[in-house]
Amino acid sequence: MTNATKPSVSSRAALVIIIVLSLLILSFAATKYGNIAPTSANSWMSQGTWLFIHGMDSHPSIFQKVESIMKADGVSESAMFAPQLPNYVPLGNWTNNLVMWMNESGMMSLPDGSVHVVAHSFGTAAILFLLRTAYALQQGNATELASTISSQCIPFPEVQGNTSARAACYEIVTEIQTQAQHPSMWIEAANKIGAVYLYHGAIMGGCCACTGVFATPQTAASVCVLGQVNSLLWYPISDLTWGGTKTIVDIYGFESNIHQCSGLCSGTVAQDSKVTEADQILIPEKDGYNGTAVSGSFTEVFGGYYCHSDFSSNIDGAAEAMVHTIAAYPPSTISGTQPATSSQPVTPASFSSYAIYLSTHPDDWILIEAPNVIHDATNPTTLTIVITITAGDKGYNDGWWQDREAAATTALQSLTANTLTSETITVNGHQIAAKVSPSLIGVFVRVLTVPDSTLPSVDYRQRR
Give the integer Cα–Cα distance in Å for 48 and 111. Answer: 9
Give the integer Cα–Cα distance in Å for 184 and 162. Answer: 34
Instruction: Give bridge partners of residue 358 from the DSSP assignment.
Output: 387
Give the integer Cα–Cα distance in Å for 431 and 420. Answer: 18
CB 423 within 8 Å of CB 367:
no
Domains of the chain, CATH where assigned: 11-36+351-447 (no CATH), 41-328 (3.40.50.1820)
The DSSP H or E segment spanning 368 is helix 364-369
**At CA 412, angle to CA 408 and CA 417, rounded to 5?**
150
The arrangement of strands across the sheet holding 247-252 comes to 80-81, 49-53, 115-121, 193-201, 247-252, 298-302, 292-295
Q: pLDDT digit of tens for each residue in the chain (464 aa)?
A: 344 444 444 555 555 556 666 666 666 665 555 544 444 444 689 989 999 999 998 999 999 999 999 999 899 999 999 999 988 899 999 999 999 999 999 999 999 999 999 999 999 999 999 999 999 999 999 999 999 999 888 777 777 778 888 899 999 999 999 999 999 999 999 999 999 999 999 999 999 988 877 767 889 999 999 988 898 999 989 899 999 899 999 999 999 877 889 999 988 889 999 999 999 998 865 444 444 555 668 888 888 889 999 999 999 889 999 998 898 888 875 544 443 333 333 344 446 677 888 888 888 888 888 767 877 777 766 788 888 878 777 767 777 788 888 888 888 887 776 778 888 877 667 778 888 877 777 777 776 544 444 444 444 444 33
**H-assigned helices in 1-90:** 11-33, 64-72
Closest CA to 305 of 400, 375, 238: 375
CA gyration radius, the chain: 25
Q: Which residues contact 179 (CB under 8 A, 6 or more apart)?
A: 96, 133, 137, 142, 186
Compute CA distances 289 → 130, 223, 285, 345, 436, whole Å.
Answer: 25, 23, 4, 9, 19
| SS3 call for 389 | strand
Give the integer Cα–Cα distance in Å for 26 and 211. Answer: 52
First to last CA, the chain: 17
93-115 as b/e: b if 16+ CB within 10 A: bbbbbbbebbeeeebeeeeebbb
Task: Write the burial class of residue 230 (CB in 10 Å: 0-12 exposed, 13-18 middle, 19+ buried).
Answer: middle
pTM: 0.72
Torsion angle in degrees (nearest 10) through CA of 61, 63, 68, 72? -160
The DSSP H or E segment spanning 382 is strand 382-390
DSSP 276: B
Closest CA to 352 of 332, 323, 386: 323
- β-pairing verdict for 292-295 and 298-302: antiparallel
